[in-house]
């Protein structure tokens, strides 16, 4: 899983995608994660009971898709 920090712009895009799928997360929970995918995955796991692996794979796909979009634009 991508455990590092995500830049602010990417975090906003990823957060939007996550909100579409897991809409019950609060803004405070996003703020507490502060761009850290691993912390966000833990919050989703706690709130929804999804397996951490499933959540991590979904979040990694979002990050990978976003990074490949950046590479296409360069």
Q: What topology does CATH give the domain 8-73?
A: Protein Yjbj; Chain: A; (1.10.1470)
| pLDDT one-digit tens code per residue, 11-64 | 888 888 888 999 999 889 888 888 788 888 899 999 999 898 899 888 888 887
Residues 6+ apart with CB under 8 A from 40: 18, 29, 30, 33, 59
pTM of the shown model: 0.70
């Amino acid at each position: 899983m991508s455990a590092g920090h995500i830049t602010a712009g990417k975090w906003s895009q990823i957060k939007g995608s996550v909100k579409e799928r897991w809409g019950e997360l609060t803004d405070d929970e996003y703020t507490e994660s502060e761009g850290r995918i691993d912390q966000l995955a833990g919050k989703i796991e706690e709130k929804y009971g999804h397996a951490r692996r499933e959540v991590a794979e979904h979040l990694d796909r979002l990050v990978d898709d976003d990074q490949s979009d950046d590479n296409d634009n360069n």
